[in-house]
Amino acid sequence: MNKKIALSMLGIALIALVIASYTLLSMQGKVIARSEVLNVGAVLPLTGAASSWGKQIQNGMEVAKDELSAEGQQVRIIYEDSQANPQQGIIAYNKLAKVDKVNIIFSAFSRVSVPLVALSKEDKMPLIMTIVSAKNVTAGSEYAFRFYSDEKQYVEPHFKYIVKSRYPEVAILFINDDFGTSVREAVRNKLDSSGIKIVADESFAPNSADMRTQLSKIKEKNPKAVIFIGSVPIEVSSALKQMQELNIKADFIEASAALAQEAARVAAGEAGEGAYTIAFPFTLGMNGNAFKDKYKAEFKEELNFAAAFGYDLLMLSARADKERGLTGKELADEIKNVQNYKSLNGNVKIMKNGEINPETYAARVVNGGLVKV
């Protein structure tokens, strides 16, 4: 009798072991299905004058990566330094696409990103660009996305107060690259439709620190405002200080967002007081405060809106991928299928043409900080 009981108990144990093994295998199968790694390539300006943007994007991506890892979603990121140089950007892109064979590529800066759009179409490589406001930048590829403001969003918020009675004559000072020429065109169109006369239209090379020649020409025309379009802190702070040196009595209106960086305002000092700029909700403290606290705790530094875009680039891509390791058109379509995404700049819509454009606001420098206009 004891032998029968023992055999019965052994049978039950074997059945239990089979069930447990099956359950474990099933669980392992689920883990395997959910452990497809999303391989991300990032072409960022990590050295040079634009590194303040690239480093913050990188750090924002790392915060997102840590959060995703805590949720069980694994992401691998390969960073390449573009140095904000178009040729270097192409080299970096080709390495990521053809050697590293990543699922998706992120890029920053118009002059770097614009040449990558055609490559993304040829390679069927999803490409998400940020800190990019070149005109119609996503039009050349169904795989291209812009998660940033377009050229008009750098301009239109200012025209709540730029009116002919206040600024009958203005000057334009713009960076001569894809970004600068796109925003300049949007500025000129708004000025023309407002009946405001453009008395000077001067350009400068990327990373310029001496604009005295251009500003001297502008001073001769005695405009009521100088509408400035730049991309890095050295450009905007130099323009402001040299306007002060030359005693140019005109309002400074930045149709870009370099002054939204604290570093740019510190570099400009008192010359930046009263200047106008463009700011995102994140910059104005309207969104993303929990992320700011986490970022500061991890990196022990102040942050700008580029960090928020870095975080959102990765989070959006991971949410679309859903741990499947998607590539090509399938991944691009899934990003579009997200449709609405809660970003660190508020709710944004993913358009079928690849545009993802958070709202922008006009702001003014007051006591070294920013106040919404």
Give me the CATH number covering residue 201.
Answer: 3.40.50.2300
Cβ–Cβ < 8 Å for 138, 117: yes
∠ CA 269-271-274 to the nearest 5 degrees? 105
Q: Residue 302 domain-assigned?
A: yes
pLDDT of residue 182: 96
Separation between Cα atoms, residue 153 and residue 176, nearest integer Å? 19
**Residues 30-39 pLDDT 10s:** 333 334 899 9
Q: Residue 260 domain-assigned?
A: yes
Confidence (pTM): 0.87
Q: Residue 233 domain-assigned?
A: yes
Q: Residue 131 domain-assigned?
A: yes
Separation between Cα atoms, residue 282 and residue 288, nearest integer Å? 6
Q: Residue 16 domain-assigned?
A: no
Strand partners, 254: 228
Number of domains into which the chain is organized: 2
- Same domain, yes or no, for 173 and 266? yes
- Same domain, yes or no, for 78 and 127? yes
pLDDT of residue 146: 98
Domain limit, last residue, from 217, 244, 279 = 279
- Same domain, yes or no, for 235 and 258? yes
Separation between Cα atoms, residue 329 and residue 306, nearest integer Å? 27
Q: Residue 88 domain-assigned?
A: yes
pLDDT of residue 32: 33
Backbone angles phi, psi at 232, to 5 degrees: -130, 160
- Same domain, yes or no, for 86 and 104? yes
Identify each DSSP E strand in the chain by its residue range: 38-44, 75-81, 104-108, 127-130, 144-147, 169-175, 197-204, 225-229, 251-254, 276-279, 340-343, 346-349, 355-356, 361-366, 369-372
- Same domain, yes or no, for 202 and 262? yes
pLDDT of residue 140: 86
- Same domain, yes or no, for 163 and 101? no
- Same domain, yes or no, for 102 and 195? no
Task: Say what angle helices 178-194 and 110-123 make with each other, to 10 degrees.
Answer: 110
Q: Residue 213 domain-assigned?
A: yes
Q: What is the mean pLDDT of each run of 10 residues along the chain (373 residues)?
A: 44 41 39 66 96 96 97 96 98 98 97 97 98 95 97 97 98 97 98 98 97 98 98 96 98 96 95 98 95 96 96 98 96 97 97 97 97 97
Q: Give me the domain span that covers residue 237.
A: 153-279
Domain limit, last residue, from 241, 259, 279 = 279
- Same domain, yes or no, for 130 and 46? yes
Separation between Cα atoms, residue 209 and residue 211, nearest integer Å? 6
Domain limit, last residue, from 255, 279, 303 = 279
Separation between Cα atoms, residue 346 and residue 287, nearest integer Å? 6
- Same domain, yes or no, for 219 and 123? no
Tokens of 328: 């090509």
**Residues 106-144 pLDDT 10s:** 999 999 999 999 999 999 999 999 999 999 999 989 999
Number of H helices, E strands in the chain: 11, 15
- Same domain, yes or no, for 161 and 236? yes
- Same domain, yes or no, for 194 and 268? yes
- Same domain, yes or no, for 292 and 143? yes
